[in-house]
């Protein structure tokens, strides 16, 4: 299993001292089409404290990215939040983001200023017809009362802070003229331009090669510590979680099946799906002789979810007449450690 990092060791202090920034309760986001209803996120609950890093992990199609899109109210066409709360505690007030008009002035003020996002693919997030400087300056001027010259100076400074080579020159480059690593740094710079309280990073290392991945992770970790912001990391890579996060939530087919402090989850996973994910990750230093176990079967189709626990057709601990009949309630199995599994009911 993956080793815990220094970031994990701060979990107890964060849980006891830092106030909650974002409180998500029973969030359900569905997509409606002729084929039926796709329950992308189905009753998910979690919280993120100030200065804390939460990792959300699971296979493709489990609802990780839609959870982030729901928070920012940028759910794609035909999708909508049908239930739940997304409570942002900021500036001395509580705002339910789920109740805001997704095109309204209030959510536009929150996007970028209080909650920002680093998208999975920078090429799709940047406009190719404007320089990266123009796009970062636009974000700064949208949320801060500064003139063009001051906004440009701030853009150069944030590019410098994310390690962009020659920021005074690079600021006038177009996205297509930059390498993958430089585009990722530019996207991080744009996300941090207004010093958000929460940064959402959706698969932050997917679009860069392995030589750049470690640099990007170290950059995000350093900037989080330096700016004191909260972090929500969405990934299928548990190694990224172990590097960056204090707490982990595992998702499967739109459900939060297990959540715990990162150190606890890697040492003592409870849900059979979490156990399977960890066993499928090669351990550093074990060599080529180690056995890597794949999870049996495949993720069911989005419109063909099994009755009962969605994982039961792939589960090695399947209990006939129980797991295939009812979905398990969430149980507390340790301090801050919750799991949805009939083994613990």
Q: What is the pLDDT of residues 221-237, one digit of tens each?
A: 999 999 999 999 999 88
The CA-CA-CA angle for residues 16, 19, 20, to 5°, reads 110
Tell me the C-alpha distance between 32 and 76, whole Å.
11
Q: What percent of the chain lies above the pLDDT cut of 70? A: 92
Mark residue 108 as left, alpha or beta (left: phi above 0; alpha: psi -120 to 50; beta: remaining).
alpha
Q: How far is CA 89 from CA 22, 95, 96, 132, in A?
A: 6, 7, 9, 31
Q: Hey, what's the torsion of the CAs at 194, 198, 200, 204, to 10 degrees?
A: 70
Residue 54 · residue 249 · CB < 8 Å = yes
Q: List the 93-96 sheet strands across, edge first.
A: 36-49, 20-33, 79-90, 93-96
pLDDT at 207: 66
For 250, counting Cβ atoms within 10 Å of its Cβ (0-12 exposed, 13-18 middle, 19+ buried), the class is: buried
Average pLDDT, the chain: 90
Q: What percent of the chain lies above the pLDDT cut of 90? A: 70
**Overall pTM surpassing 0.75 (yes/no):** yes
DSSP of 231-292, one letter per residue? EEEEES-HHHHHHH-SEEEEEETTEEEEEEEHHHHHHS--SHHHHHHHHTSPPTTS-TTS--
pLDDT at 8: 44
The pLDDT tens digits of the residues spanning 168-196 come to 999 999 999 998 888 988 999 999 999 99
β-sheet bridge partners, residue 252: 255
Residue 295 · residue 271 · CB < 8 Å = no
Helix/strand/coil for 312: helix
β-sheet bridge partners, residue 331: 339
The pLDDT tens digits of the residues spanning 89-112 come to 998 899 999 999 999 999 999 998
Confidence band for 285, pLDDT divided at 50, 70 and 90? low
Tell me the C-alpha distance between 86 and 71, whole Å.
7
Residue 53 · residue 64 · CB < 8 Å = no
Tally of residues, the chain: 345
In Å, the largest CA–CA distance within the chain is: 68
* List of domains in the chain: 1-104+197-298 (3.40.50.300), 121-195 (no CATH)
Question: What's the gap between Cα 175 and its chain centre?
Answer: 24
What are the φ/ψ torsions at residue 31 (nearest 5 degrees)?
-115, 135
Dihedral (CA of 134, 121, 6, 262) sign = positive
């Amino acid at each position: 299993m993956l080793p815990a990092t220094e970031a994990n060791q701060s979990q107890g202090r964060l849980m006891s001292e830092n106030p909650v920034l974002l409180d998500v309760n029973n969030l359900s986001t569905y997509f409606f089409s002729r084929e039926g209803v796709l329950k992308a996120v189905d009753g998910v609950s979690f919280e993120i404290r100030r200065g804390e890093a939460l990792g959300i992990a699971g296979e493709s199609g489990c609802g990780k990215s839609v959870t982030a899109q729901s928070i920012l109210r940028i759910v794609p066409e035909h999708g909508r939040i049908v239930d739940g709360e997304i409570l942002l505690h900021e500036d001395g007030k509580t705002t339910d983001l789920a109740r805001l008009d997704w095109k309204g002035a209030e959510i536009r003020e929150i996007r970028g200023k209080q909650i920002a996002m680093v998208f999975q693919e920078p090429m799709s997030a940047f406009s190719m017809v404007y320089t990266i400087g123009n796009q970062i300056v636009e974000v700064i001027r949208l949320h801060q009362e500064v003139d063009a010259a001051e906004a440009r100076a701030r853009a150069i400074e944030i590019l410098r802070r994310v390690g962009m080579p020659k920021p005074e020159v690079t600021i006038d480059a177009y996205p297509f003229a930059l390498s993958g690593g430089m585009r990722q740094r530019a996207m991080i710079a744009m996300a941090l331009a207004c010093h958000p309280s929460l940064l959402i990073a959706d698969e932050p290392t997917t679009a860069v090669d392995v030589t750049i991945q470690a640099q990007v992770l170290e950059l995000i970790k350093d900037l989080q510590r330096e700016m004191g912001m909260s972090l929500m990391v969405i990934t299928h890579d548990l190694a990224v979680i172990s590097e960056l996060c204090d707490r982990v939530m595992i998702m499967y087919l739109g459900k939060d099946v297990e959540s715990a402090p990162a150190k606890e989850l890697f040492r003592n996973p409870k849900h059979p799906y979490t156990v399977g994910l960890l066993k499928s990750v090669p351990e550093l230093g074990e060599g080529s002789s180690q056995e890597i176990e794949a999870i049996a079967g495949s993720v069911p189709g989005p419109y063909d979810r099994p009755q009962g626990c969605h994982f039961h057709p792939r589960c090695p601990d399947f209990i006939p007449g129980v797991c295939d009949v009812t979905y398990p309630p969430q149980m507390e199995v340790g301090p801050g450690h919750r799991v949805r599994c009939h083994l613990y009911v």
